[in-house]
Amino acid sequence: MILLMMMICLVGISSSSSSSGGATQDQQVVDQISALPGQPPVTFSQFSGYITVNKTHGRALFYWFIEATTHSEKKPLVLWLNGGPGCSSIAYGASEEIGPFRINKTGSSLYLNKYSWNKEANILFLESPAGVGFSYTNTSSDLLDSGDERTAQDALIFMIRWISRFPQYKYRDFYISGESYAGHYVPQLAKKIHDYNKASSKPFINLKGFIVGNAVTDNYHDNIGTVTFWWSHSMISDRTYHSILSLCNFTLPNYSSSCNDAINYAINQEFGNIDQYSIYTPTCTVVSNNETQSVRLKNTLLHRRRYGYDPCTENYAEKYYNRPEVQRAMHANSTGIPYKWTACSDVLIKNWTDSQFSMLPTYRELIAAGLRIWVFSGDTDSVVPVTATRFSLNHLNLTVKTRWYPWNSGGQVGGWTEVYEGLTFATVRGAGHEVPLFQPKRGFTLFRSFLAGEELPKS
């Protein structure tokens, strides 16, 4: 399926009564979280539970909804999706990026995130598709034939039923956000909602736009841009760079053995032991049973290590969310899923069946529809690097509205940006693959500007 799958990553049973898409206030009460184990005091409300998206197959998606810290009734609704495909938005987005809490090293308690995005919006985290995190299916074959199309359709059904459960968010300004392979999920869901609204006499999902970071976008241009990043950042030799470009035909879904050999040589012999998601920061030195892994991420060229950044923060999430008292507090795993909660599902990524070759046609359609669209890139990520995104977006041939300039955050250059007719592109200086993890203040400035519909601040 298009690009070499690598390690980015950056599965249940019967449904419970909270799995239905009911529209009653009672279900909100059932889903409300009183407090999480080890949680500091907060003023905002939290909810979590299941929405059934396919009753016949028994597919139910798990969500965690966190209302804004102030004036939640006036602030927009934002859905966050992580990629993989097969990785958890609770493990990454909620717990180490944009959520209100961080997990301590023992996995026993939480502390507050100063730059949580729920200061500006009501944030909805979704574990998608079925098989990711606490989301499940009663039909085991669903885990072997997941793909882009079903993921988008199930997410649409989820949003329709979730808003029916939380009717106070009908007609509220709604945005979709995410990163990595969510470069597919986010625009694909935006198109599903856009098409659904066009066919509806009175649409209640008030989609305004989306923002996506370090996003898998176009297989051919992403791959050329990725190899260019490796070479331009001295990760590979001149010889290997030219070897990959001469041996690999990135227009094909599958590569020759000589192409694979050239890429594997670069990764195994020339990269060294670096964090491929943040090439200038330390790696996690904690020994774990999950330390090595052969899975590759869909539509990227790299092998994945199991670690995010603290650099060991992913390990803390796996400790915390496998605690029975945490699962009870979150109304998760009520049916006794016979496996541990993990940040990513190897089964899904190994068996992904359909992957759109290029998202550029979808971008063109959604730009024409007038949605607010922002794309950003942490500039120290070598998995879906800034060069990959720039090569891909350049082929939209958009008209420049505001020329390239450095934007400001906290008195420093936060990155660089260019505004086009219909799309804003921004880099985040010093950020890896998970921008809000590596540069939380700059990521928060970016998000706040996006919601306000304003260009990023100039120095």
Q: Domain locations in the chain? A: 1-235+271-373, 374-452
Angle between helices 219-232 and 238-247 (to 10 degrees): 170
Find the mean pLDDT for residues 236-255. 95
**Higher per-residue confidence, 354 vs 21:** 354
Per the residue annotation, which of 88, 95, 180, 449 is the catalytic one? 180
The predicted structure's pLDDT at residue 267: 94
- Alpha-carbon dihedral 431, 435, 438, 439, rounded to 10 degrees: 80
C-alpha 211/C-alpha 179 separation (Å) is 9
Judge if 1-235+271-373 and 374-452 fold alike in CATH terms: yes
Two structure tokens written together for 252: 């094909």
1-235+271-373 CATH pick, 1.10.274.50, 3.40.50.1820, 3.30.460.10, 3.50.50.60: 3.40.50.1820
pLDDT of residue 305: 36
Q: Show the beta-strand stretches assigned E in 27-82.
A: 32-33, 46-54, 59-66, 77-81
Nearest-angstrom CA–CA distance, 76 and 171: 10
Q: What are phi and psi of 186, to 5 degrees?
A: -65, -55
What residues contact residue 361 under an 8 Å CB cut-off, 6+ apart? none
- 78 three-state secondary structure: strand
Q: From CA 414, how far away is CA 442, in angstroms rounded?
A: 6
In tens, the pLDDT along 430-448 reads 999 999 999 999 999 999 9
Task: Grade residue 24 by pLDDT with cuts at 50, 70 and 90.
Answer: low
What is the Cα–Cα distance from 369 to 50, expressed in whole angstroms?
32
Of the candidates 117, 9, 142, which has an alpha carbon nearest to the alpha carbon of residue 67?
117
Which residue among the candidates 148, 154, 379, 381 is catalytic per the annotation?
381
Cβ(33)–Cβ(48) below 8 Å: yes
The pLDDT of residue 313 is above 90: no
* pLDDT for 301 beyond 80: no
pTM: 0.91
433 is an active site residue = yes
Active site residue 71: no
Among the listed residues 194, 221, 331, 433, the single catalytic one is 433
Largest CA distance in the chain: 64
Residue 310 annotated in active site: no
Token duo for residue 314 = 């992913």
Tell me the C-alpha to C-alpha distance, in Å, between residue 168 and each of 335, 345, 381: 29, 34, 39
For domain 374-452, say whether CATH 1.10.10.10 is its number: no
Residues 6+ away with beta carbon under 8 Å from 459: 406, 407, 408, 411, 413
